[in-house]
Amino acid sequence: MPKCTGVLQVLLTLVLLAGVSAAQQPAGGTLRQIIPGHYVYSAGTFNSGIIATSEGVVVVDALGSEAVARAKRQAIAATIGQPVRVLVSSTHHNQYSKGNLLYAGALKIGHENYRTDLLGLMQRETIPAEEQLARLPTVTFRDRMTLHLGGKEIRILHLGRAHTRGDSIVFVPQDRIVYLSELLFVNQFLFINDGYGLDWLKALDAVEALDADIFIAGHGPIPADPRQTRQDLRRFRQMLADVRDAVQREIARGATEDQAVASVRWSQYEKLQGYEAQRETAVRRLYRQLTGTLP
Ligand SMILES: [Zn+2]
């Protein structure tokens, strides 16, 4: 097994160096304090938020494997030294939910659509029933819920459909910080296979209106000065607006969906990770939503 892991590590490194696969999530990562009591664990370009209180830790997104979840739990134990009490899960996608298995002792919270869509995903992938149960949230909510832990008010909010139809964000008003999971991509093109671009824009406007200074992305680097994350949020919103506007122009001139796919390019974003893989999907999802044919 160790020999095998070593070979995989080398292969993974080669793949990452070649820039081929953005989807690979390394098993190891780094834990960084953003402000006192708030941390981000990053495995490659994937981020998980961590809120430390005197009564225990809240984790936002478990990430994509038991291995990464275990490494993260070890880093939390070594650096923060408080038990993990709550896991809040935002997206059901495997890269954020496979690690849920490592949270058997925690309260697991997700939006009701998160639970439905994670269950559907696991059934399609014929995951064993026992593993399905272990990954599902034990508590669901519809619009919002609030945790009171160690003197902190921790708000879990669903801002409508965005990256999926079951996203959550986690806002700590007294520390003016909000964890956005996959609502925010930094230095990457948006991933919108299950996303709703028009609602996503509204959700980002609601995020911008929060009394917050720090916006933690689910994907990409966190700047040295965490207050610069507001610029990341604005840049990403602009990208989504540019995506929408280009597709809207095609619809206005009478293009079919396939014609829009053939002609829409966003040259300003073509160098971003994920652009080639997601360009067509972005056109199709926006086209369908703008023409009222997306369920
Ligand atoms: Zn996702």
Per-residue pLDDT tens digits for 12-46: 443 443 333 446 788 889 999 999 999 999 999 99
Instruction: With respect to residue 214, please indicate whether it lies within any of the assigned structural domains.
Output: yes
Instruction: With respect to residue 101, please indicate whether it lies within any of the assigned structural domains.
Output: yes
**Which one-letter DSSP state was computed for residue 14?**
H
Average pLDDT over residues 210-229: 98
Tell me what pLDDT residue 19 has.
Answer: 37
Look at the chain and count its residues.
295
Residue 100 CA, ligand 1 centroid: distance in Å: 15
pTM exceeds 0.85 for this model: yes
Residue 254 CA, ligand 1 centroid: distance in Å: 31
- Non-local (6+) Cβ contacts of 96 within 8 A are 46, 61, 62, 63, 64, 89, 90, 181, 182, 218
Residue 81 CA, ligand 1 centroid: distance in Å: 30
The parent domain of residue 156 ranges over 22-241
User: Residue 238 above 70 pLDDT?
Assistant: yes
Instruction: With respect to residue 143, please indicate whether it lies within any of the assigned structural domains.
Output: yes
Residue 252 CA, ligand 1 centroid: distance in Å: 30
Instruction: With respect to residue 146, please indicate whether it lies within any of the assigned structural domains.
Output: yes
Residue 199 CA, ligand 1 centroid: distance in Å: 16
- Domain count for the chain, please give it: 1
Residue 97 CA, ligand 1 centroid: distance in Å: 10
Instruction: With respect to residue 261, please indicate whether it lies within any of the assigned structural domains.
Output: no
For residues 176 and 212, the answer to whether their CB atoms sit within 8 Å is yes
Residue 178 CA, ligand 1 centroid: distance in Å: 18
Residue 93 CA, ligand 1 centroid: distance in Å: 5
Residue 152 CA, ligand 1 centroid: distance in Å: 28
Per-residue pLDDT tens digits for 149-208: 999 999 999 999 999 999 999 999 999 999 999 999 999 999 999 999 999 999 999 999
Instruction: With respect to residue 93, please indicate whether it lies within any of the assigned structural domains.
Output: yes
What is the CATH number for 34? 3.60.15.10
User: Residue 7 above 80 pLDDT?
Assistant: no
Residue 163 CA, ligand 1 centroid: distance in Å: 7
Give the percent of the chain with pLDDT over 70: 92
Instruction: With respect to residue 161, please indicate whether it lies within any of the assigned structural domains.
Output: yes
Residue 163: which of 211, 127, 201, 215 has the closest Cα? 201
Q: Helix, strand or coil for residue 20? A: coil
Instruction: With respect to residue 44, please indicate whether it lies within any of the assigned structural domains.
Output: yes
